[in-house]
Amino acid sequence: MTDKQQRVLTSGEVAKYCSVHLRTVIRWIQQGDLKAYKLPGRGNNRIEEKDFLAFLTSNGMPIPDDFQVSKPRILIVDDEKDMAKSIQRVLRKEDYDIYMAHDGFEAGAQLGILKPQLMTLDLSMPKMNGFSVLKFVRNQSEFDNLKIVVISALDNNQLKKAEKAGANASLSKPFDNQTLINTVKQLLEPVNTN
């Protein structure tokens, strides 16, 4: 899961994740080994993610990939490679998975593959500028949860325009390292709590 939200599983889903028969899961529930609740009127069992993970851990069973906690992914989009590397150096110290794209088209392709939680975005790029990237991203429902930090040398009016176009925050170049770190942490806070 990319958004790390708690979810509710059916007993059938638990059976698939554990590679066991559905009756085995029902027996775990009946014996009190796996915490579950029944839906009113139907009697179907539901298991909260936290209870499923606790069951796996207490029984020495592997955690499925869908439930592995991973570091937040950040895509840095800037045509100036030195600037992109500078942003990368600052954010890598905070233990994020960092990826780079050097123009808007490359950013579009990377977004679909990487599904990052946050993107830093330069506004002044050849071919497809940052405003075009913002428009593209904000028109795609699959990127609704993507946080965008514009980092640009353009004036304050352009930074405000970027925020109106969908950026979550904006910073002027040259940026202050600690301000960048604080901005990213604040935007990624819900991702980091689980």
How far CA 39 is from CA of 19, 27, 28, 53, 111, in Å, comes to: 24, 17, 17, 21, 38
Higher pLDDT, 2 or 19: 19
pLDDT tier at 16, thresholds 50, 70, 90: very high
| Domains of the chain, start order | 8-67 (1.10.1660.10), 73-192 (3.40.50.2300)
Tell me the H-state helices in the chain: 11-18, 22-30, 49-58, 81-92, 104-114, 130-138, 156-164, 177-192
Q: In whole angstroms, what is the distance from residue 186 CA to residue 182 CA? A: 6
Concatenating the DSSP letter of every residue in 102-146 gives SSHHHHHHHHHHH--SEEEE-S--SSS-HHHHHHHHHT-GGGTT-
Q: What is the pLDDT of residues 66-121, one digit of tens each?
A: 777 678 899 999 999 999 999 999 998 888 889 999 998 889 888 888 889 999 99
Residue 121 neighbours by CB distance under 10 Å? 26
pLDDT at residue 194 tops 90: no
For 155-175, the pLDDT digits (tens) are 999 999 999 999 999 999 999
Q: What is the pLDDT of residue 54?
A: 87
